[in-house]
């Protein structure tokens, strides 16, 4: 049956291992899960693995991935699309924002991730404020953006 392999000389079918699948019947091997997909038992079951599932946003799935949660986009990045195949495809967190946890998606980047006033936030920032990103002298920094002071402005740092 689908989700199994039937090697020559064996009387019983053998379930496909996670990381592989088999959509057809009477096959001698299972298919290795393609990059950008994961192959695991359907949620909460031990049912046979009969298909591959596209890797969700916030994660990347190399070839043979059993469970997408094994490969989250790291802190300082986010996964803005489905089907990512390598960590390098995770997007660097945008300037003026911070990405403080793994597996963030583009939907997580917004008002709640804008950097604190008094600090700059370069691309790839992991924290809302950091000692190394204090606003430089002669600048004021609002929402992670450093702007040179005019005569009527002051610095936060």
Q: What is the pLDDT of residue 151?
A: 65
Beta bridge partners, 118, equal none
Give the β-pairing of 20-21 and 31-32.
Answer: antiparallel
Over 80: is that where the pLDDT of 121 sits?
yes
SS (H, E, C) 52-79: CEECCCCECCCCCCCCHHHCECCCCEEE
Integer CA distances (angstroms), 140 to 122, 143, 149, in order = 15, 10, 6
Q: What is the pLDDT of residue 81?
A: 97
Interatomic CA distance for residues 150 and 4, integer angstroms: 71
pLDDT (tens digit per residue) in 48-77: 889 999 999 999 999 999 999 999 999 999
Determine the distance from the C-alpha atom of residue 147 to the mean position of all C-alpha atoms in its chain, rounded to a whole number.
32
Q: What is the pLDDT of residue 55?
A: 98
By the 8 A CB rule, do 73 and 80 touch? no
Over 70: is that where the pLDDT of 32 sits?
yes
Over 80: is that where the pLDDT of 153 sits?
no
């Amino acid at each position: 049956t689908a989700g199994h392999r039937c090697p020559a000389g064996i009387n019983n079918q053998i379930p496909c291992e996670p990381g592989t699948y088999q959509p057809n019947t009477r096959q001698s091997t299972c298919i290795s899960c393609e990059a950008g997909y994961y192959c695991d038992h359907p949620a909460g079951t031990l049912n046979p693995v009969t298909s591959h599932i596209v890797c969700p946003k916030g994660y990347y799935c190399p070839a043979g991935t059993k469970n997408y949660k094994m490969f989250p986009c790291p802190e300082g990045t986010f996964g803005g699309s489905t089907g990512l195949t390598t960590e390098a495809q995770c997007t660097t967190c945008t300037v003026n924002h911070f990405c403080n946890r793994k597996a963030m998606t583009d939907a997580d980047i917004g008002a709640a991730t804008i950097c604190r006033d008094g600090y700059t936030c370069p691309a790839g920032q992991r924290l809302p404020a950091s000692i190394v990103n204090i606003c430089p002298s002669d600048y004021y920094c609002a929402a992670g953006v450093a702007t040179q002071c005019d005569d009527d402005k002051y610095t936060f740092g």
